[in-house]
Amino acid sequence: VLAGAIFNNKDDKKGQSDKHIELMTQKLGKPHHRFPDTSDTHFRSYRDAATELITYIIEYLEMMELIRWLKDNASLTNIEKNLRDTLNDLAMLTKLCAMILYQQIISHPYLQQVHGPGTENINLLDFGPFHI
């Protein structure tokens, strides 16, 4: 949620949305997408954010330092400090990895089964035996 508030804030005047896209595009050498929208209530958005952070953890750690040095007073806001500390916390990184594994092993296959091709005319109640 912290990363979403910083890198994809609903208010374009807050956060680092534009800087995020610019810096990630520059670092990766190809156009980069917006950070996943964690203001959304769908759990998938949190797992997508976890995937983004773990995949590009080095880049995000470097970006936090760059954001700090680009400011006049060379400091981070409290939310930025908390994110930087989180990205350096082994326990939290382990939780992010667990979220990613859950998404890959449980969520994606399940959603493919109940929302994939051929399920357009099936009532969710018809999947009763699938959930037992």
Summarised one tens digit per residue, pLDDT across range 57-111 is: 999 899 888 878 877 787 888 888 998 999 999 999 999 999 999 989 988 888 8
* pLDDT mean over 114-124: 80
Asked if residue 18 belongs to a domain, the reply is: yes
Asked if residue 122 belongs to a domain, the reply is: no
Asked if residue 30 belongs to a domain, the reply is: yes
Asked if residue 82 belongs to a domain, the reply is: yes
Asked if residue 118 belongs to a domain, the reply is: no
Yes or no: say if 14 and 65 are a contact pair by the CB < 8 Å rule: no
User: Quick one: pLDDT band at residue 123, thresholds 50, 70, 90?
Assistant: confident
Asked if residue 117 belongs to a domain, the reply is: no
Sequence-separated contacts (24+) of 8-17 with Cβ below 8 Å: 8/34, 8/35, 8/36, 8/37, 8/38, 8/39, 10/39, 16/67
Length of the chain in terms of residues written = 132
Q: How many domains does the structure of the chain reveal?
A: 1
Asked if residue 40 belongs to a domain, the reply is: yes
Segments forming the whole domain that contains residue 23:
2-107
